Amino acid sequence: MYLSLIVPAYKEASRISASLEKIFAYLANASYDSEVIVVDDGSPDNSVEVIRTAFAKKPAGRVEARLIELGTNGGKGAAVRAGMLEAKGSIRIFTDADLSTPIHEVEKVIMAIEKEGYDVVVGSRALEGRKLVKVHQPMYREMMGRFFNLLVQVFVLRGIKDTQCGFKGFRAEAAAKIFAEQKVMGFSFDVEILYLARKYGYKIKEVAVEWYNDERTTVGALSDSAKMFLELLRIRNLHKGS
């Protein structure tokens, strides 16, 4: 298997069908074998039913589809971890269920890993003067995101301009090592996996990707931001001595 695409999903019944249709259509025309792994993070709505229906409409071809049901809500980090550790692909990418980053951007990740020798590729909204951000978040969310990144730089990880874009790729060996050691299951898991990637000496590249804000975000501006900050402060201690 060449490419694994992991899609974490929580309460995504209203939009994941359209996203999966785009994903399947794109990968059906790709020159490589692929699998799409949707990880439902204990959604209380009918997300699982919608996902199964979308799978049934998948075009015939070289694209496999799998659904992992976590049963209870463990957090986005838990969903991504489950998908990454179950994946078979030599390249493994996770993307948000709303496809804020369009599916064609997987080629940038593949290029950086396959042709340039990187182990971890970070999709970024902050590069190239944010020109590839086609639909922006409300200003207060953008400012909160930039402040969070400042905290990341100070407390955990310097040098990566956008740790929170939900589009990242990994060489299989790096994914297996990093996600096996992941302990943060909330929204700050992105920082932890990048911290681990740097700790173990993996080559990391940040690439500019297209990004479109979806107003139907499931991330709470205040409640989740507070949790993310507390998670952030724990990361170094969680891996001290390991």
Q: What mean pLDDT is predicted for residues 46-68?
A: 95
List, for residues 80-101, the tens digit of each pLDDT value: 999 999 999 999 999 999 999 9
Query: Phi-psi category of 165—alpha, beta or left, where left has phi over 0 and alpha has psi -120 to 50?
Result: beta
C-alpha 64/C-alpha 204 separation (Å) is 28
pLDDT at 168: 98
Which position has the token pair 């730089």?
A: 153
Label residue 225 by pLDDT band (50, 70, 90): low
The gap between the terminal CA atoms of the chain, to the nearest Å, is 31
pLDDT at 108: 97
Burial of 50 (0-12, 13-18, 19+ CB in 10 A): buried
Residue 131 in this model has a pLDDT that exceeds 70: no
What are φ and ψ of residue 36, in 5° steps? -110, 120
What's the pTM value of the predicted model, to 2 decimals?
A: 0.87
C-alpha 187/C-alpha 191 separation (Å) is 9
CB atoms closer than 10 angstroms to residue 118: 22
Residue 216 in this model has a pLDDT that exceeds 80: no
C-alpha 139/C-alpha 29 separation (Å) is 38
What are φ and ψ of residue 78, in 5° steps? -65, -40
Q: What mean pLDDT is predicted for residues 105-126?
A: 96
Q: What is the CATH number of the domain that holds 22?
A: 3.90.550.10
The number of folded domains in the chain is 1
Residues of the domain holding 156: 3-238
Residue 137 in this model has a pLDDT that exceeds 70: no
